[in-house]
Structure 1
Amino acid sequence: MSGAPAAAAGAAMSWSGKAGTLLRLAPLLRHSEVPAGLVLSWREWQQRGNCLLRLRQVFGGAAVAVRSSQADEDSSAHSQAGRYLTRLDVASADAPALAAAIDAVFASYGSARSQDEVFVQAMVQAEMAVVAATHAVEDGADYYAFSLAAGARTDAVTRGDVAVQTVYLAHEAPSPQRPDLALLHRALLELREHCGAQPLEAELVLCGQRVLLLQVRPLVLRGSPRSGLARRRLLAVEQRQLLQATAGCAGQRRVLALMPDWNTAELLGSHPRPLALDVFRLAIADAAWQRARRALGYRPLRQVSLLQPLAGRPYIDVRASANSLLPQALADSTAARLADAWQERLLAAPQLHDKYEFAIAQTCVDFDFDAQWRERYAGVLAPAELAHYRDTLRSITARCLAPQTLAAGLARLRRLEQPAHADADADALAVACRRLPRDGGLAFALIARLAFVYEALVRSAVARGALQPERLLLLQRSCRSVTRDFLRASGHAHAFGFLRAGTFEITTPSLGQRELTATVAEAAAVEFAPTPAERRALDRLLGETGYRLEADALLHGYCRTREAREYAKYRLSAAVSQLLEQLAAHGASRGLDRDSLSWLELDRARAASPSAASLRAAANRSAHAIDAALRLPTVFDPRCTVQQVEIAAGTPTFVGNGRAAAPLVVVDMQTRPAAVPLRAVLAIASADPGYDWIFARQPAGLITAFGGPNSHMAIRCAELGVPAILGLGWERWQRLSQAKLLEIDTQALAVTPWTDV
C-alpha cells in the first residue's frame, strides 16, 4: 500500500490511473483537496489479512469508498469512465464487508493483473455532488460544464437517478458570481493548470467552503475542441432585437422557451433542420395556432408567429403564446400584466416549462381556478379586473365544453380526409402547402385546445377530491384512441404507413418503408363508470362554476375530445407525410436527395434551382454545426448573458402507477422496429406520434428527455398502461441512457439505473 511522488507544478500530466493521478495532484492543490486514501495492489491483496488490518488502523473503522484504479484506467487515450465498479460507504471495521467490496472491484477488471490497484478512500459527506469538465462532454464545445446534485450522496450525478442542474460557463466568461460555482470554477481552472492542455473531467464534492476532489480523468472527445466565441458574440446582437416590442402583443417581458406551447422540442427535437422547422411553421406556428384560439374567444394575434427560432432551436415566443390564451375582451393593460406575470413565474421556476398550462398560465376556469390564482398571482389584478378576467375566461371555457364546438373541429378535419393530388409538380405542391394549415393545422389546433380544457377540468376535479388519481388513470385507459387501431393493424403497415419518427423530418423513413412485426395482443377493454359519490362531487363542482352539463357529460366529453385529438394528430401527420413525399419526389426530379432537401427552407426546397439549392444546403448545414456548439437554456431570458447558461433540474412527469425493470434500449429516428427487443425499457429523446410503433414491441417502460403531463407519449402510455417518466431533461436523460438495465417505479416517483448487471 503506497502513495506516489508529486509532479512538478506546471508539468504535463502523466495519467497513471485513478489513484496515481490523485496522489500526484494532492500536494499541488490549493483550491481543492483529495480525501485521505490508500492504494492497494492486486499483489498486496493476496495477503488480505494484513491489508484489512492496515485499512482498519488507517481509517479507524470509519466508512470508506473502494474505488477502481485499474492500470489502463483514465489514460490520455481511454478514460474508461464508469467501466469498473466503485463501492461506497463500506465500514472499514467490518472486515468481511470490506473484503467483499475489494474483491468486487478487482473482479470488475475481468482478469486482474499484479499491477492493477484499488483505491480505498475516506468516505466524505457531501452537501453537493458535482461532475465538472473543461469542455462540453458531448462535442467538446468551449464551456466549463458543471452538473450539480444537492444532497449527501457523492455519486448522485453519475448515477443519474436524481434531478441534476447543469451550468455551462463559456471559456471567455468571468468567474461566476454565484458562490458555489465560483469555488468550483476556481478548482477546475487549477486542475487544468496542473493537468495540461488535454480536456479533463473531475468528480467533486462541495462541503461548505471545501471542494473535495474524488477523481480526475482525461476527457476523450470525438473530435477537436470547438470554439463558439464568435457565434456567441453574434447571438448577443440577436438578443437585443428580441427585447423590442411586438405589434399586437401586450406586455413588457419577452421570454422564449422550448415546451410551454405545442411542445416543440418533443415534436421537432431540440435542434431541427431548416425544412422540418419550416413545415411545422407552415402547419401550425404561422397562423393555425392563433386562428383556432381566436375562434374560441381568445385574444387575436394577426401576423405574429408562435415560433421564434434562435440559433436553430425551436423556441416558442412565450409572450405571444400568453397573449393568445387571454380573453379577447380584456383591456390591453390587464392583458399586459397577466402576460408579464406568467412569464416572470416561468423564469422563477424554469423546471415547469413543460407544465406551462398546468402550473403557470390559467387559460380556462377549472374547479381549482380561485385557489390557484390566490397562490400564484394574488395582487396582480384589482378585484374588478380579476372578476372580469374570470367571467370572460369562463365563457370561453363553456364554449370549449359545448359538443357543437368539437363537431365543428371534426367537420373541418374531414376535409383533410378527402383525396388530394399526390403529384410532385409545383402546382400540386402549392395546393398541399395551402391545404396543410387550412384543414389539418387549424382543425388539430382547435381540437387540441378543447381536449386541454377538458383535461384541466378533470385534473382539477382530482385536486378538489372529486376523483382519486387512480380513478383518473382508469378513465384514461377507458378511452379508445386511434392508437389501438394502429396496434391492431401493426402487421399491415400500409394502413398507417404515413407515420414517421420525427413527423416533420424528410430524411426519416415512414413506417410504410420499414418492416414492422405484429407482436401485440389485443388489450383487454377497460370500462369506466363514475360511482354515485363521484357523480355527486362532480355535479357540485360543475354547479359552483356554472357550467351547464352533468358529471356523465363531463367524463364523456373528456374521453371524446381526448380520442378526437389523437385522431386529428394522426390525420395531420398523414398530411405532413404526404407533403414531404411530394417534396422528395419533386426534389429528385431536380437532382436533390432527401438529405439536401432537409437543409433547405421550404420555399427553396420547392423552387430553388439545383445549383442554388446545393449551395444553400451546404451553408445551412455549416451554420447548423456552428450553432450546435452553443449551449442554450430551455427557458431563455433575452436580458441574460449567453456566457453562463443554467439548465434547471427537471421535474419529470410520471405516468401510470406501475413498475418496470428491464434492459434499456435507446431508440432514435433511424432505429428499425424489428431491431428493438420485446419488453425492454425504451429511451427516446423526443417521442412524437411517429414513434407509436414502439407499442408494437410491448415496451416495459419509457423515458424521454422532453415531454409533459399532456404530451403525446403521456396520453399513449396512460391509455396503454405503460409506466413512463417523461421530460427528464437532456442532461439527465443522457446519463440514464448509459444504463444497461433501468428500473422505473411511477408510484414511488423513482428511477434506478444499473450499469453493472
Structure 2
Amino acid sequence: MDQDNKVQCCILSAGKHQNLDSACCLLDFSNGKSILDWQIYSLKAVFPNPEVRIAVGYKYNEIVEAYPCLNFTHIVNWKNGSPLRSFLEIPVNTSSPVLVMYGDTVFRNESIRSISKIDSDVVIGIDSKWLSRYSNRNSDDILRAEKIFVDDLGEIEYTGLLYLSSKTVKFIKNSIHVNNLDTFISLVDFLKNNNFTCTYFDVNGDWAEMNQEDDLVQFLFGTKAQTLNRIRPRLKKSTICDQYVCRWDKWINNKIAEVDAIQSSFLNQKLIVRSSSYHEDGWHTANAGAFESVLDIDSSVNGEVFKAIELVFNSYPRVSEKDQVLVQPFIDNTVLSGVIFTCDLATGSPYYTINYDDKSGSTESVTSGLKSNLRTITLSRKNPWIIKNIDDRLTKLIDAVQEIEDVVGFNKLDIEFALDEAGELFTFQVRPIVVEHCKSVSDEKIYKQILFAQNRFSSWQNASLDIKGEFTVFSNMADWNPAEIIGQRPSVLAVSLYRHLITDEIWARQRHEFGYRNIHPAPLVHTFCMQPYVDCRASLNSFIPDSVPDDTAERLVIAYLNILKNNPELHDKVELEIAFTIWTPTFREEANGRLLKYGVTREDIDLLEDGLKDLTKMAFTRLGKDLEPLDELDKRFNYLKSSKLGLMETAYQSIELCKEFGTLAFSHAARAGFVAISFLHSLVRCGVITKSRMLDFQSSISTVTRDFQADCLSNSMTLDELVIKYGHLRPGTYDVNQKAYWEMPEFYFYDSKPSDDCSSINKKEMCETFIFSRDEMNRIQEVLENVSNSMNSTELIEYFSNAIQAREKAKFIFTRNLSLALDCLSEYGRKELNIDRTKIGYLSWSDISDFSVGQASPELLKCQINSRESYLTCKQLVKLPAFISSVDDFLGFEHETSSPNFITHNNTVAELSFIDSCKNENLEGKIAVIPGADPGYDWLFSHGISGLITKYGGANSHMAIRCAELNLPAVIGVGDKLYSQLSSNRIYMLDCMREKIEHV
C-alpha cells in the first residue's frame, strides 16, 4: 500500500442521528465531548497530521460553529442522499489514500492502524460478532445494521470503516459508473468486478456505533487491565503504572514462561498482583473488591510470583481462557489512597464522593472494607474546588478525575487512586457505576437549590432583637435533634407537624417557663432543601438563665458558638460538652476550663452559676404541676376518639389538643428527664457514685417501656388488649409512612418470643428494688446542699425516678393524639383522595388547618400534593452535612466522625440486622440497627435482640435510657459515617466496656 502518502480521513456525518435530534457527530457524552472529538483524537493518534474532511448536512451550522478550524463539505441534499453520495461529494486528493468512516462510529486506534497497513487496494472493516457485540443491543439496532456476506463468515455487519489506496481513489473519482451506486457495499462489489484487491478486516465486536447514550462507555470499558491500557496514553494528570497482563490460557499452558516474562518486565521491583476478570466489572454488574489482590511481592522470588497469580486466578468463581491477572509495580510509599465516585451512588446526583485512608499507608484499605478509620468527603460538581478547604492534597485528584471523565466521555465512574510521598497521583482502576439512576431532575436545577439554600443561610445570620450572638450555625442533631426525631429527609407533613407541635413556639415557651431567657417568637428549626436543622444560636440563647444580664448573656452565647464552630463534632452533644444548662457539682471546674479562654469572665461564670442553681432547684419541685395538662389530654383524647367527626376534622382537633395539653407538658418532662440524667452523670464524674451503680439504679425504674416488655412477655394480656394500650406507637413518631403497631399487631407483639437466656429483661429483674447505700445517700446529700437546703437525698432520688418515668409517660400519652391524626390522614387519603399514605406526606399542617375551616377542598389538596411532589424531588437530591457553619459547606463537606454513646458495660458478638421499619424476620440474638433513638422502636425489645445500634441519638435519648434500663449493650448515635460503614448480615463485636464496635 502507499503508506508513505499522507492519509486523508473522510468522516461522513451529513445525516440526523437516528434516535436523537442531533447531528451524528455532535452526540454528547455527558461531559461536553462529542463523537467528533473522539474521532479526531483517534485519527491524530494513528496518522501524523491527517487531512480530516467532514461531510455535514443536518444542523451543519452548529457543527461548523463548534469546530471552526476543521474542513467541512456541506451536503445540501443530505435528506435524499446516502453515506456513499456524501463521500463522492467530498473533494479529495487522488494521489493519497483515503480512510472513510461514518460520523456516529468509533474504533480502537489499533484497528485504524491495522487497517491502514494491510497491503490491499480496498480494506473493508467488518464485524463477525455483530449479533453479540453488546448484551443489551436492541432488535431495531440489529435490523438496521448494514449486512454483507463474506465467505467462511456468512452474513456479518459492515462497520463503515473503509481504507482505499490512492489508485482506488483515483479510479472512483474518474469512473462515471460510480454515480449509479447507492451504498458502500455496492461500491465494494463494483471494485471487485474491476479487479481491485479487496480484503476484509474483522474488528471482532471491538467498535461502537453511537445508537444509545452508553454505547461509547460500553466500548471503552473492558477488564481492569484493558480499561487502564486504553486510557493510559491520554492521561497527563495521573499515572497508570506499567502492567503485565497474564491470560489464563497462557498461564495454564506455560506457567514458567509467564513467571519469567513478569520477572523480565519488572526487574528487582516489588509487585502487586490484581484481579482482571471478565466477571469483575461489566456494564451491568460490579464486583469491586470481590476477588483477591496480593501486595508487596518480591519479583525476584519465583515462588512468590507463582503463588500470587495462582491465588488471584483461584478467587474467580469461574475462569475463561481470556480471563486475566494484572501485574504492576507495588506503590509502597502512599500518603493516602481510596475510591472516588463521580456521581452519587444511590441517585446519580452531581456529586463527587471520596472515601479514603490517610492513616494506614495501605492501597487496599478502602476496597477491602476492613478499615474503620476512613475519611469520606462529598463535593458538589458545581464547585469541587472547595476541596482545598477540606483536604488540599485532594485538589490533584479532582484535576485527574476530570481528565479521566473527558477521556472516557462519561461522568458516572468509580475510580481507585493513591497519592505517594512525592506527590504523584496514581490511577489503579476505572470502572463505570452500574447502578441505574432514574433521575428526572437536571443538574442545573439541583445547583439552583444549593444557591437558594446558601442565600437562606446568609440571611439567617442576622439576629432578631432579643437574640444574642454575632452569627449562627446549624445542626441536624442539636437540642430537639430533628434528624433523630423526623429524619434527615422527612416528609412535608412530618416537618410541619414537628414545627407546629414543638419547634415553632412550644420549645421556647417551655424554656421560659422553666426559668430561661424568653426568645419567643424565634423558631428553632429551619430547613435547607427540606432537610431540618436547628438554629444553634437560638438554641444556645434559650439555655441562658433569665436572671443573667444581657452583656453576660452575649459573652456566653458567643463563647458557646465559637466552641461549637471550632469543634463541630460536638454538635450532637451541645448540652453535654458546650452549653451549661443546669447546675451540677462539677459545674465550676468545667465552666472555668471551658469558658474562660473564650472571653467569658469569672464574674460571668458566677452569674451563670447562680442562675443555674435557681433553675435546678425549681426543677426538683415543679414536675408534678408541669404534668397536670396530660390528664386533660387523656380525657379529651378518649372523647375525640369516640366522636363522629370526619377524618380530617378529627386529625385537626387531635393535633390542636396535642399542642394545647400534650407537647408543652412533654417538653417540661423531657427537660426534667435531662436534669435527672445529667445530675446522675455528674455524681459519677465527681465520684459520689460509680457508673455501674448509676446503671443499676436506672435499670430499677419502672417505665412505659418496661411495662410494654412485661406485657409482651406475659400471657395475661390478649392481643386486643395490647393493641388498645400500645397500638398507637409507630417507628417514626411523625412519619405517616410508617405503620402503627395496631396495623401489624401479630408482628409487633407476638412475632418472636425471646427465650429466657437471650431476653434483655425477665420477670425477676422487673421485681427487684434498687436502694442506694447509706454512704452513697450521705454523699449525695452533701452535693444537694450546694443547690437546695429544702430537699433531702431521698427526695432527690425520688425526683430522678419520677423525671425519668415522666418523660417516657408524657411522650407515650401525647403521641396517641399524633398517631390518631396520622391514621385519619392516611385513611382520608385512601378513601377520599384515592392516594396512598406516601402521597399524604406531601400535605402540610396549614393544608389541614385550611381544610378544617373550609378554605381548602379535596381537589386543592390533591393539587398541593402533586405540585409539592414535583418540586421537592429536586430538593431531595441535594446532599448536605450534619453541621453547617459556612456557605461553602453547601458545596462540599467531610462526613463527621461522631463520638458514639456506649450504654452499659456489657458486650455481645452477633449478626447485624438493619431495621428501617418492621421486618418479618427472626431478630432473636441479633444486633438491631435503626436510624434514630425513637420510642416507636420499643417493639424491638420484645424480639430478643442482643444489642442495639442507632444512627442518631444522644446519651440522654429515649433508646439510651431504655437500653440502660434493660441492661442491653448499645451504641447510641454512631453518626452518618460509621453507620454507612456497617454491613447487614455480618458479625460484629459490640464491647461497651472498652467502647469498641468492630467487624469480626
When normalised by structure 2's length, the TM-score is: 0.69
Change (3 A) 1:361 1:199: same
487, 491, 505: which one pairs with 2:735? Answer: 505
* 8 Å CA contact 1:130, 1:206 repeated in 2: no
Aligned residue for 1:15? Answer: 221
Deviation at 1:578, TM superposition (A): 1.3
Aligned residue for 1:476? Answer: 698
Deviation at 1:629, TM superposition (A): 1.4
Q: Does residue 239 of structure 2 align to residue 33 of structure 1?
A: yes
Q: Which amino acid aligns with 2:881?
A: P
Aligned residue for 1:109? Answer: 316
Aligned residue for 2:932? Answer: 686
| Equivalent residues in 2 for 1:608-757, closer than 5 Å | 608-640=856-888, 642-669=890-917, 671-672=918-919, 674-737=920-983, 740-753=986-999
- 1:438-485 CA-to-partner distances (Å, cap 9, x unmatched) read 222111110111111122222222223333333433333333321122
Change (3 A) 1:88 1:505: farther
* 8 Å CA contact 1:204, 1:211 repeated in 2: yes
Q: Which amino acid aligns with 1:614?
A: K
* 8 Å CA contact 1:156, 1:162 repeated in 2: no
- Equivalent position SS for 2:893: strand
Q: Does residue 546 of structure 2 align to residue 338 of structure 1?
A: no
| Equivalent residues in 2 for 1:149-548, closer than 5 Å | 149-152=357-360, 153-158=362-367, 159=369, 162-173=372-383, 175-176=385-386, 177-178=388-389, 179-208=392-421, 209-223=423-437, 226-227=442-443, 228-379=446-597, 380-400=599-619, 402=620, 404-418=621-635, 419-422=638-641, 423=643, 424-425=645-646, 428-490=650-712, 492=719, 493-494=722-723, 495-514=725-744, 515-516=746-747, 517-520=751-754, 521=759, 522-523=761-762, 524-525=764-765, 528-531=770-773, 534-535=776-777, 537-543=779-785
Q: Does residue 845 of structure 2 align to residue 602 of structure 1?
A: yes
Q: Which amino acid aligns with 2:382?
A: E
* 8 Å CA contact 2:338, 2:355 repeated in 1: yes
Q: Does residue 328 of structure 2 align to residue 80 of structure 1?
A: no
Deviation at 1:325, TM superposition (A): 1.1
Query: Per chain length, whose mean CA-contact separation is higher, i.e. which structure has more relative contact order (CA < 8 Å, sep 6+)?
Result: 1
* 8 Å CA contact 1:542, 1:548 repeated in 2: no
Deviation at 1:98, TM superposition (A): 8.1
Q: Which amino acid aligns with 1:286?
A: D
- Equivalent position SS for 2:525: coil
Once residues 333 and 427 of structure 1 are traced to their aligned partners in structure 2, the CA distance between those partners, rounded to angstroms, is 48
Change (3 A) 1:69 1:704: farther
Corresponding residue pairs, total: 745
* 8 Å CA contact 1:650, 1:728 repeated in 2: yes
- 1:520-579 CA-to-partner distances (Å, cap 9, x unmatched) read 355241654445664455444445556765555544433332222122222222221012
Unaligned segments of structure 1, at least 5 residues: none
- Equivalent position SS for 2:640: coil
Once residues 302 and 947 of structure 2 are traced to their aligned partners in structure 1, the CA distance between those partners, rounded to angstroms, is 40
- 1:150-180 CA-to-partner distances (Å, cap 9, x unmatched) read 3114444452752544332222216233422
Once residues 100 and 545 of structure 1 are traced to their aligned partners in structure 2, the CA distance between those partners, rounded to angstroms, is 73
* 8 Å CA contact 2:752, 2:922 repeated in 1: no
Q: Which amino acid aligns with 2:666?
A: F
Once residues 726 and 100 of structure 1 are traced to their aligned partners in structure 2, the CA distance between those partners, rounded to angstroms, is 45
580, 585, 603: which one pairs with 2:822? Answer: 580
Once residues 658 and 92 of structure 1 are traced to their aligned partners in structure 2, the CA distance between those partners, rounded to angstroms, is 49
* 8 Å CA contact 1:163, 1:650 repeated in 2: no
Change (3 A) 1:290 1:117: same
- Equivalent position SS for 1:420: helix
- 1:217-236 CA-to-partner distances (Å, cap 9, x unmatched) read 21123315651122223333
Unaligned segments of structure 2, at least 5 residues: 1-44, 47-107, 111-215, 713-717
- Equivalent position SS for 2:639: coil
* 8 Å CA contact 1:161, 1:753 repeated in 2: no
- Equivalent position SS for 2:833: coil
- Equivalent position SS for 1:703: strand
Indicate the RMSD between aligned Cα atoms, in angstroms: 3.3
Once residues 128 and 172 of structure 1 are traced to their aligned partners in structure 2, the CA distance between those partners, rounded to angstroms, is 25
Deviation at 1:613, TM superposition (A): 0.9
Return 295-304 or 720-729, whichever deviates more: 720-729
Aligned residue for 2:353? Answer: 145
- Equivalent position SS for 1:421: helix
* 8 Å CA contact 2:912, 2:985 repeated in 1: yes
Deviation at 1:699, TM superposition (A): 1.9
Deviation at 1:683, TM superposition (A): 2.5
Q: Which amino acid aligns with 2:995?
A: L
Once residues 363 and 521 of structure 2 are traced to their aligned partners in structure 1, the CA distance between those partners, rounded to angstroms, is 52
Deviation at 1:187, TM superposition (A): 2.4
Return 538-547 or 127-136, whichever deviates more: 538-547
Deviation at 1:421, TM superposition (A): 0.7
- 1:46-88 CA-to-partner distances (Å, cap 9, x unmatched) read 5777777887898899986554332122223322234444566
- Equivalent position SS for 1:578: helix
Aligned residue for 2:37? Answer: none
Once residues 314 and 694 of structure 2 are traced to their aligned partners in structure 1, the CA distance between those partners, rounded to angstroms, is 48
Once residues 914 and 312 of structure 2 are traced to their aligned partners in structure 1, the CA distance between those partners, rounded to angstroms, is 28
Change (3 A) 1:588 1:629: closer
- Equivalent position SS for 1:309: strand
Once residues 982 and 566 of structure 2 are traced to their aligned partners in structure 1, the CA distance between those partners, rounded to angstroms, is 27
- Equivalent position SS for 2:979: helix
Return 639-648 or 690-699, whichever deviates more: 639-648
Q: Which amino acid aligns with 1:508?
A: Q
Q: Which amino acid aligns with 1:468?
A: T
* 8 Å CA contact 1:742, 1:753 repeated in 2: yes
* 8 Å CA contact 2:913, 2:985 repeated in 1: no
**What fraction of aligned residue pairs are identical, expressed as a percent?**
27
Deviation at 1:591, TM superposition (A): 2.6
Return 725-734 or 502-511, whichever deviates more: 725-734
